[in-house]
Structure 1
Amino acid sequence: MKVAFYAPMKALDDPTPSGDRTVGRLLVAALRKAGHDVVVPSRLRSYDRGDPARQRRLRDLGRRVADRLVARHAGQGRPFDLWFTYHLYHKAPDWIGPHVAGSLGIPYVVAEASVAGKQRGGLWQPGYEASLAALARAELVIGFNPADRPGVRAHLQPQTRYLDLPPFVDTRPFAAATGTRGATRAKLAARHGLDPALPWLVTVAMMRDDQKLASYRVLAAALAMIDTPRFQLLLIGAGPAEAAVRAAFAPLGARVAFHGAADPDAVPELYAAADLYVWPAIKESWSMAFIEAQAAGLPVVAGRSGGVAGVVEDGVTGFLAAAGDADGFAAGVRRLLDPATRSAMGRAAAKRALAHHDIDRAAARLDEALRTVVAAGNAPRQAVAV
């Protein structure tokens, strides 16, 4: 099938790395793995920080883009078999897809939507209304975060299908990286002065002055509570809040090494060289890094926020602490500094990542769901003005 894939939050070729870009690219990879022809019909970014006037300008621009797409394909039958929008919410509504899908008579599919009722009547009112209109138009909604399900389903038509799809990665590079663990560990030890005899904790996260910085501060406070056994922490990431992150970890001294940003292709080896992944994940949906780390055989200590409990099985592949609870987080780290516990949970983590979060499994489930929607021959719904 030919799939029109649109990401209003962030374009797939955006130069700035982010979890949103990663998930979007993985979705496209899964669709192509299932044999679908994926095209990107527009790069319009509708993300807005809370300016109603700008949202109205984006709405008008989106309508013009939609009209051009419809006119371009007029008389060509169905140029796409379906429209697929990734990451829909009040800050990044879809001003294009509902109109195009309705006009061309093709199914409209949404992946990773969320509805925040508190935004009704607020700064993002235009985007909020547009997101609800798009959900009302959808034939299929795909959810990665179980926490989003109730809010989203309340705004769907009775016949709309909802697919719970665990977030996923290509687990193969992470599993393969375990074969070079010794060599990578030696290089990192030489570069950062790390002691290979100690357990290494690792964190991979951007350094931004938002919930990322809040998570870094909780992590620093938690690790400062642990005197024994000894450990070292490798921080992989960079960003505008790096100075504040360094200040938070200054009390830990030589126990912390700052690696800086890493090339995505090098990340699997960095995970595999470590022993334990740690991240408080304040106000995060789930964090792809949890899945990547587990695919490399690392158990995890995480904050219990958003959909994190859906990707880290508490007591099996790691330990969860209440969001922002430095004491509880420190307790989880202490438990996984025990070699036997860490080894057993690391094996369980790799097994679970392959069974539940691998791209092959996701591709098969996506393919089945999309083909079901197309084959159902749902009567095209009236185009929605948003």
Structure 2
Amino acid sequence: MRIAFHTPLNSYDDGRISGDRRMARQLVAALEGLGHVVEPVLAARDFMPSADAERLVHHREMAATHAEAMRARWRDGAPPPELWFTYHNYYRAPDLLGPEIVDHLGIPYVVAEASDAERRASGDWAEHTRIVRAGLAATDLHLYFTDRDRQGLEPWRSRCTALLELPPFIAFDREPPRHAGDAPVPRLVTVAMMREGTKQNSYLTLARILGRVAERPWTLSIIGDGRQRTEIEQAFSGLPEGRISWLGAIPHDRVVAEMAAHDVFIWPGVREAYGLVYLEAQAVGLPIVAFDSGGVSATVRNGETALLAREGDEAGLAAALLRLLDDGAMRKAMGQAARRFALTERNPAQAACILERGLALAVANRAARPHAATTGPKA
């Protein structure tokens, strides 16, 4: 099939590094590996940092202009898509193109990583949420990455709208390096951008966790940079001298190699969507220490490849870290299990099997969908 691939949250071709951009590229590669022709929809980014009504009007006008330009190309003989695939549809980045195009062309509509927020259905974000929900109801197949997202999408499951789990997966150009072996002093590593919000909160939490285990020997390498680096460095300043290495932002291939030179990956992951970095760390053979927050649990096997503490339980997270610091045999066993899990169960081949089944389901659901306007969720 010819598939239009739309990314409202971040432009597909902007080239910046982030987990969602990488997942978008992985999804495209998996679809192309199945023999489909995938054409990224190079529309303007629809992320809205605020609920400003004029901003929404502007985005809708831009979407309408882009949709008309697409229709003009098709009238001039360009082949239209046979399926529309949107990656992300939520209140801050609603899909302003997909529902209109699939209705115009009568083609299947697939959405990956959509979410619904009841608390946004009233107030400043109400109109954005109404747009999202119209898209949720019009979707033939929802691919969800985490159980949290599944729960939000359940009201939209219907005879013609299916939900299918697509666990987070990771792709490598070549086999990732193996963990180099434990050092006399356990080497911790973390990787994250230094930006406001949840990333900064996780860094501040990490500094407090390490303060709880400062009497044990360990070192931590921090890979990442950003606007909040000064504030984040200040949060770690009370730890014993020489424990922290600030590596800054480094090329992605070096990130993977750097992780392999460590023994434990630790990142609290406060409200993390899921975090491909957890899969990368496991792929090189590192056990994970994190909160059971957001979608983190979808990327690990708690108790086998990772030790997760209840979200916000900093004492519990410190205790989990201490278990791995004090037990080299546990670190080794969990690291070996982590590599097997990431490379054999969370790889593009497994994802492609799910996508192939999902596309067939979407085609069948679109064929069965009545031509009348789509109704809202069931009670």
Partner of 1:209: 196
Partner of 2:43: 43
Kept after mapping to 1: 8 A contact 2:12/2:40: no
Partner of 1:330: 318
Kept after mapping to 2: 8 A contact 1:300/1:319: yes
Partner of 2:24: 24
> Secondary structure at 1:330's aligned position in 2?
helix
The structure 2 residue matched to 1:290, chosen from 273, 278, 296, is: 278
- Alignment-mate amino acid for residue 207 of structure 1: M
Matches within 5 A, 1:250-265: 250-252=237-239, 253-265=241-253
Q: 1:176 to 1:41 in 2, by over 3 A?
A: closer
- Cα-Cα RMSD: 2.1
Partner of 1:74: 75
> Secondary structure at 1:12's aligned position in 2?
coil
Structure 1 residue 103: Cα displacement:
0.7
> Secondary structure at 1:298's aligned position in 2?
coil
Larger mean Cα displacement after TM superposition, 273-282 or 346-355 = 346-355
Kept after mapping to 2: 8 A contact 1:301/1:320: yes
Q: 1:239 to 1:265 in 2, by over 3 A?
A: same
The structure 1 residue matched to 2:293, chosen from 298, 305, 309, is: 305
Kept after mapping to 1: 8 A contact 2:3/2:82: yes
Aligned partners of 1:138, 1:77: CA distance in 2, in Å?
25
Structure 1 residue 101: Cα displacement:
1.2
Q: What TM-score do you get using the length of structure 1 for normalisation? A: 0.90
> Secondary structure at 1:378's aligned position in 2?
helix
Partner of 2:227: 240
Q: CA offsets per residue over residues 65-94 of structure 1, 9 Å max, x none?
A: 112212321385962120000011000001
Q: CA offsets per residue over residues 205-248 of structure 1, 9 Å max, x none?
A: 00012111111111111111114431100000000000011011
Partner of 1:191: none
Larger mean Cα displacement after TM superposition, 274-283 or 122-131 = 122-131
Larger mean Cα displacement after TM superposition, 220-229 or 48-57 = 220-229
Larger mean Cα displacement after TM superposition, 313-322 or 222-231 = 222-231
Kept after mapping to 1: 8 A contact 2:260/2:284: yes
Q: Does 1:11 align with 2:11?
A: yes
Q: Does 1:370 align with 2:371?
A: no
Aligned partners of 1:356, 1:124: CA distance in 2, in Å?
38
Aligned partners of 1:141, 1:121: CA distance in 2, in Å?
24
Larger mean Cα displacement after TM superposition, 16-25 or 373-382 = 373-382
> Secondary structure at 1:321's aligned position in 2?
strand
Q: 1:76 to 1:106 in 2, by over 3 A?
A: farther
Structure 1 residue 286: Cα displacement:
1.3
Matches within 5 A, 1:45-194: 45-50=45-50, 51-74=52-75, 79-170=80-171, 173=174, 175-178=175-178, 181=180
- Alignment-mate amino acid for residue 127 of structure 2: P
Structure 1 residue 271: Cα displacement:
1.5
Aligned-pair identity in percent equals 39
Kept after mapping to 1: 8 A contact 2:168/2:298: no
Q: CA offsets per residue over residues 269-297 of structure 1, 9 Å max, x none?
A: 11211111001111112111111111111
Unaligned runs of 5+ in 1: 186-195
Structure 1 residue 156: Cα displacement:
4.0
- Alignment-mate amino acid for residue 241 of structure 1: Q
Aligned partners of 1:68, 1:277: CA distance in 2, in Å?
47
The structure 2 residue matched to 1:317, chosen from 295, 301, 305, is: 305
Kept after mapping to 1: 8 A contact 2:264/2:286: yes
Partner of 2:212: 225
- Alignment-mate amino acid for residue 284 of structure 2: A
Kept after mapping to 1: 8 A contact 2:176/2:283: no
Aligned partners of 2:69, 2:25: CA distance in 1, in Å?
26
Kept after mapping to 2: 8 A contact 1:280/1:324: no
Q: What TM-score do you get using the length of structure 2 for normalisation? A: 0.92
Structure 1 residue 64: Cα displacement:
2.3
Structure 1 residue 172: Cα displacement:
6.5
Kept after mapping to 1: 8 A contact 2:190/2:267: yes
Kept after mapping to 1: 8 A contact 2:287/2:335: yes
- Alignment-mate amino acid for residue 322 of structure 1: R
Aligned partners of 1:29, 1:364: CA distance in 2, in Å?
13
- Alignment-mate amino acid for residue 48 of structure 1: M
Aligned partners of 1:235, 1:298: CA distance in 2, in Å?
15
